[in-house]
Amino acid sequence: GAVVSQHPSRVICKSGTSVKIECRSLDFQATTMFWYRQFPKKSLMLMATSNEGSKATYEQGVEKDKFLINHASLTLSTLTVTSAHPEDSSFYICSARETGDTEAFFGQGTRLTVV
């Protein structure tokens, strides 16, 4: 299957700082990327959908100014958590899909801890 690489796998940051998470499709062109957040023992919560070259579409309740998503190329999307607070601590997962494909491939996830 296709490979999606997400980096970093774990990050600890101080409250008030910003953290960038990268999601790369290694062997296919990801025209659509999805960013999810997962709380402990909960299912995946879709945060936003991004299509290459256009602005991300955010789900209701997700602050676009806090969770900045950039999908500037067909192989890279980034999620920046700005002015992070302890309540932003969570597991963030990206997935990527190629045009015409129904299956999306997941990155390894990023465990963010804000202290």
Query: Which residues of the chain form contacts with another protein (CB under 8 A)?
Result: 1, 6, 34, 41-44, 46, 49, 91, 93, 102-109, 111
Nearer to another protein, 44 or 62 (CB): 44
CB of 68 to another protein, least distance (A): 21
What is the distance, to the nearest Å, from the Cα of residue 73 to the centroid of all Cα atoms in its chain? 15
Nearer to another protein, 67 or 92 (CB): 92
CB of 58 to another protein, least distance (A): 13
- What are the residues whose beta carbons fall under 8 Å from the beta carbon of 38, sequence distance 6 or more? 44, 45, 90, 91, 92, 93, 109
CA separation for the pair 9, 23 (Å, rounded) = 11
Nearer to another protein, 82 or 108 (CB): 108
CA separation for the pair 82, 78 (Å, rounded) = 12
